[in-house]
Amino acid sequence: MAETKPSVSAVIPAYFEEKTIASVVSRCLPFVDEVLVVNDGSTDDTSINARNAGARVIENSQNMGVLKTIRRGMREAKGDIIVTLDADGQHDPTEIPILIQPILDGKADLVMGARPSFPYWSEWFLTWLTSLRVPVKDAATGFRAIKQEIAAEMNVYGECTCGTFVIEAARLGARVASVPISIREREGPRRIQTRHFRQFFIVLRDVMRFW
């Protein structure tokens, strides 16, 4: 009997992304078994456009922030492998097969998509700090694939996911791998940059207490 291929869910946290969400959903669909959009309190057409494009949509009753939104998405997802990506179109869904391959090969439990460069020095520094304990090339990326059984146990804490996501997964026994990805920078300011200063102290604490 042929071995059953693991199912894959794409989890997309979305906050006022009505202009890009339909395109992201439709581009994900050929590579996954479900697309789950978690609308984090948006009052525009984010949910409608995502649903019309073929996504399953769940709603936060109010804006909960990206950490709680990702955590909810990972727990609601039905796939054996969960891929997270941003709703603004900066990640290329055609790279999902590359991202999940180390998991399919039995070589990793968490795969981080490593961008060709860091848009901010703080992301580079958080990655360097994280790599003192966990081998990772980009600890600040939002494009990642993780086994469902690991994701289900995660609290997803901190000011953002930079560094803490990798460290928490590794503490739960996840083998971490990185694969190169491409990136298209979103227009306008990045929303989480101001959190990196506080995130540094959280990651530093985790690195010191890792063992």
Predicted pLDDT at 98: 98
Counting residues of the chain whose pLDDT is more than 90, the rounded percentage is: 89
What sections of the chain are H helices per DSSP? 21-28, 46-53, 66-76, 96-104, 121-131, 148-151, 164-171, 196-209
Predicted pLDDT at 189: 52
Give residue-wise pLDDT tens across range 138-181: 999 999 999 999 999 999 999 999 999 999 999 999 999 999 99
**Beta bridge partner(s), residue 13:** 38
Indicate yes or no: pTM above 0.75: yes
- Is 80 exceeded by the pLDDT of residue 190? no
Please give the residue that has the higher pLDDT: either 58 or 191: 58
Average pLDDT, the chain: 94
Find, among 211, 45, 75, the residue nearest to 132 by Cα.
211
Structure token pair of residue 137? 């090339």
Give the integer Cα–Cα distance in Å for 94 and 61: 31
Q: What is the largest CA-CA distance in the chain?
A: 53
Give the integer Cα–Cα distance in Å for 10 and 21: 13
Find, among 144, 182, 195, the residue nearest to 166 by Cα.
144
The three-point CA angle 160-39-10 to 5° equals: 75
Q: SS3 for 32?
A: coil
Contact 156/165 with Cβ under 8 angstroms?
yes
Q: Please give the domain boundaries of the chain with CATH numbers for all domains.
A: 8-209 (3.90.550.10)
